[in-house]
Amino acid sequence: MSLADSVLNGDRLALARLLTRVENDTIEGREALDVLFPHTGKAHLIGVTGAPGTGKSTLVNQIALSFRKLGQRVAIVAIDPSSPFTGGAVLGDRVRMRDLAGDTGVFIRSMASRGSLGGLAQATAGLVQVFDSAGFEIILIETVGAGQSEVDIARLAHTTLVVEAPGLGDEIQAIKAGILEIADILVINKADRPGVESTERALKNMLEMAHPVPKIFQHHGQTLTETLPDNPSPNASLWFPLIQRTVATDGAGLPQLIESIQRHAAHLRQSGEWLTRERARLEAEFDLFIQQELVARFRAGLPEAKLAQIMESIQNRKISPREAVSVLLNGGVS
Ligand SMILES: Nc1nc2c(ncn2[C@@H]2O[C@H](COP(=O)(O)OP(=O)(O)O)[C@@H](O)[C@H]2O)c(=O)[nH]1
Ligand SMILES: [Mg+2]
């Protein structure tokens, strides 16, 4: 039986093996993904991002436990650039081991972050497809909030949680608008710590700047002050990010957070946004493979000597890189 078939049959050892092949982008991994693809598209992908130490791993563990109580199967993909021997990663992982170990409804996979950001997002997408086809209904993806890779991974997720913690002060001010734009739910974790109020105030202010008042609410004849705090209704086509307080170490705020996550999923489905996002994601994946394949073919058909000659012309400023490609694609070098 092929690895892909074994995964579809619920074989955990085969699942672990296939994840490694997909992560390493082997031919066998790629072919298995082709076989598994028709079985994907069912899972709810939840991205959890934020600065190191905000409590993401602890929170992911709690979210996983909550969904397990609802009878859903949960996969966790943790992308952690930090050494396994330092920082909060180990502790978070230990928490996971203790609470989730032995539960066959849970599968945890850590992935070292790669040199190339594109490669990381692609590898993550592959792992997620494997879990999705293996019947995991909830897939949690933990990333350290550090820039473009988070934005790429958020594009992969249906629902993105951005985790903050009180007491980071200036760092909150320094959060790029980009990270706020990808947040569907802003979690203020460590709500047992002082400074929660001011953190929440700062986040609200930033949200209002990042998300200009949606016009749709005026069309519905409602005043904005009435609409914004309780928003969104599941039918609204726009989603104003929710702010949720949690204490991941003892589970406070978790039921409300889970409800918000489910509300967001319902919103995506009812508004049609679920399909729109999925289509955009699949199209991006399609584009990526076209690029990789065409570049590989083009370079393979270009003799070494010719490439050297072209590069020399480019370096001597006789022809621009863009012109060189254009000339090559239209046959022959002038
Ligand atoms: N006081 C408090 N500590 C927390 C909370 N959540 C996590 N922590 C602690 O914060 C540290 C970092 O947590 P971790 O989950 O590894 O953070 P990550 O780096 O964002 O994944 C650990 O010592 C956790 O026990 C919380 O809600 N309150
Ligand atoms: Mg962590």
**DSSP states along 116-169:** -HHHHHHHHHHHHHHHHHTT-SEEEEEEE--SHHHHHHHHH-SEEEEEE-TT-T
Superfamily of domain 40-277: P-loop containing nucleotide triphosphate hydrolases (3.40.50.300)
Q: Closest ligand 1 atom, CA of 52?
A: 19
For residue 79, the CA-to-ligand 2 centroid distance in Å is 8
Q: Which ligand is nearest to the CA of 248?
A: 1
The residue ranges of DSSP E strands in 189-241, in sequence order, are: none
pLDDT (0 to 100) of residue 148: 66
Q: Which residues surround ligand 2, an ion (CB under 5 A)?
A: 56-57, 89, 92
Beta carbons within 8 Å of 281's beta carbon, 6+ residues apart:
155, 156
Structural Rg of the chain based on CA atoms: 23
Residue 127 CA to residue 77 CA, distance in Å, equals 8
- Side chain identity, residue 106: V
Does residue 59 contact residue 95 with C-beta atoms inside 8 Å? no
Output the ligand 1 site: residues, CB below 6 A: 52-58, 88, 91-92, 189-190, 192-193, 247-249
- Backbone torsion region of residue 255, taken as left when φ is above 0, otherwise alpha when ψ lies between -120 and 50, otherwise beta: alpha
Tell me the C-alpha to C-alpha distance, in Å, between residue 214 and each of 61, 164, 287: 34, 25, 32
- The token pair that represents 277 in the structure block: 């996002």
Q: Which ligand is nearest to the CA of 252?
A: 1
Three-class secondary structure of residue 79 per DSSP = strand
Q: Are strands 242-245 and 74-79 parallel, antiparallel or unpaired?
A: unpaired
Among residues 147, 141, 175, 176, the alpha carbon closest in space to that of 161 is found at 141
pTM of the model: 0.84
Q: Closest ligand 1 atom, CA of 90?
A: 16
pLDDT (0 to 100) of residue 158: 94
For residue 41, the CA-to-ligand 2 centroid distance in Å is 27
Q: Closest ligand 1 atom, CA of 252?
A: 27
Domain ranges (residues) in the chain:
40-277, 290-329
pLDDT (0 to 100) of residue 130: 98
Residue 66 CA to residue 290 CA, distance in Å, equals 40
For residue 81, the CA-to-ligand 1 centroid distance in Å is 17
Buried b (16+ CB within 10 A) or exposed e, 115-153: eebeebbbbbbbbbbbbbbbebbbbbbbbbbeeebbbbb
Residue 265 CA to residue 224 CA, distance in Å, equals 24
The tens place of each residue's pLDDT in the chain, 334 residues long, gives 899 999 999 999 999 999 999 998 899 999 999 999 999 999 999 999 888 888 999 999 999 999 999 999 999 998 865 534 333 444 455 555 566 777 889 999 988 765 544 577 788 899 999 999 999 999 999 987 666 666 777 778 999 999 999 976 555 554 555 677 788 999 999 999 999 998 898 888 888 876 665 544 444 444 444 344 444 444 456 899 999 999 999 999 999 999 999 999 999 999 999 999 899 889 988 998 899 899 999 889 899 999 999 999 999 999 999 999 998 888 654 4
Residue with tokens 């969904």: 67
* Nearest protein Cα to ligand 1, atom 7: 55
